[in-house]
Amino acid sequence: MSAPKLLLVEDDKALAELLEYRFESEGYAVRATADGDEALMLAAEDTPDLVILDWMIEGASGLEVCRRLRREKSTAHVPIIMLTAREAEDDRVRGLETGADDYITKPFSPRELLARVAAVLRRVRPALAGETIEVGDMRLDPVAHRLERRGHELQVGPTEYRLVKFFMEHPRRVFSRGQLLDAVWGTGSEIEERTVDVHIRRLRKAITVENVRDPIRTVRSAGYALEPV
């Protein structure tokens, strides 16, 4: 299973290094910065799975970074955990209202932050935590790399697997071909957008079973979405 990608935005150098070390030894891929603007850049060029964001940082403020992450389509749904000083309840509420998913007050134990990160990821992207995902009548076991539908084991190629996994992590949501290329093929892949159609077709073929209706919805001039059942 691919390591969950964390983006750590933290001023305090000692703390940042400590956390980076701890998270990496827990199997996360961490990129860290102390600067808000740089954080936005990093997030834009390779969408992280989760952002840990100190509220008091250089460059754009934490609130501002949060707001801007939410505004960008590619990062709008990335969960954010913010770090705040203990007293600042007002900050916390404003942070949550701006779109942060969670906060933790300083000082905190790394162990607690780890638990919190795991909890958020489990909620948002169960597959990253190694849990099986179910969407409608399909079930995906990321550990065993298995996909089944109504008890039938499905045979899909690597690309189709990544594609369906991504869809199952975000059911019902419509993704443009560009977004799918970024998410499934990797940011900056130089692939024809039309090629996505082809893989959609292959996936459709692979998950056809008991002639139940096709769970992949085509949204004209917008993209595709996976609908339960």
For a second copy, the binding residues (CB under 8 A) are 79, 89, 92-93, 96-97, 99-102, 109, 111-112, 115-116, 118-120, 122-124, 143-145, 157-158, 172-174, 219-222, 225
Q: Among a second copy, DNA, none, what binds residue 185 when CB lies within 5 to 8 Å by partner kind? A: DNA
Q: How many angstroms separate the CA atoms of 44 and 46, rounded?
A: 6
Q: Which amino acid is at 25?
A: S
Q: How many angstroms separate the CA atoms of 88 and 96, rounded?
A: 13
Interacting span for DNA (CB under 7 A) from 72-80, 98-106, 129-137, 199-207: 199-207
Rounded CA Rg of the chain: 19
Report the nearest approach of DNA to the CB of residue 4 (Å): 22
Identify which of residues 149 and 177 has a Cβ nearer to DNA in the complex: 177
Report the nearest approach of DNA to the CB of residue 227 (Å): 13
Alpha-carbon dihedral 38, 43, 49, 55, rounded to 10 degrees: 40
Q: Does 197 bind DNA (CB under 7 A)?
A: yes
Report the nearest approach of DNA to the CB of residue 155 (Å): 7
217 strand-pairing partners: 225
Q: Which residue has the tokens 């409608």?
A: 136
- 154 to 173, contacts with DNA by CB under 7 A? 157-160
Residue 166 three-state SS: helix
Q: How many angstroms separate the CA atoms of 153 and 166, rounded?
A: 18
Interface with DNA (CB under 7 A)? 157-160, 185, 190-192, 194-195, 197-202, 204, 218-223
